[in-house]
Amino acid sequence: MHNLILLLFLLAGGLTLSGIVANFYRLVAKKPEGGLATWAYYGVMLLAGPSVLFENSTRSFRKKECSGMAYGFAVGLAAYWAFILGLAMMNLSRTI
């Protein structure tokens, strides 16, 4: 039971971090133009990726632009990505 709670906590933490970074980036930045801005965008997407992937795949699934299997794969990938972010956050907090 402890492992399940830890899994859900890490998943929620990673998804929360992803959502905060994605929304902050949308508020502050414009479309990337130029080499440095594009690399900065890629760096932000490392953290914001799960939220963006989940949002885009849900939008496509609701518009019937993708199959249920593709949607399930995208949601699973976003969940795994969020879990890894949560795990990295936990490990980083333990070292500080």
What is the tens place of the pLDDT at every residue in 36-86?
888 988 999 999 999 999 999 999 999 999 999 999 999 999 999 999 999
What does the alpha-carbon distance between residue 85 and residue 48 come to, in Å, rounded to a whole number?
10
State the greatest distance between any 2 C-alpha atoms of the chain, in Å, as a whole number.
Answer: 49
pTM given for the model: 0.86
Residue 1 is classified by DSSP as -
pLDDT at 9: 95
pLDDT at 96: 76
What does the alpha-carbon distance between residue 33 and residue 22 come to, in Å, rounded to a whole number?
18
Determine the average pLDDT of the residues in 8-37: 91
pLDDT at 59: 96
| Amino acid letter for position 12 | A
Question: Is-contact 76 53, C-beta < 8 A?
Answer: no
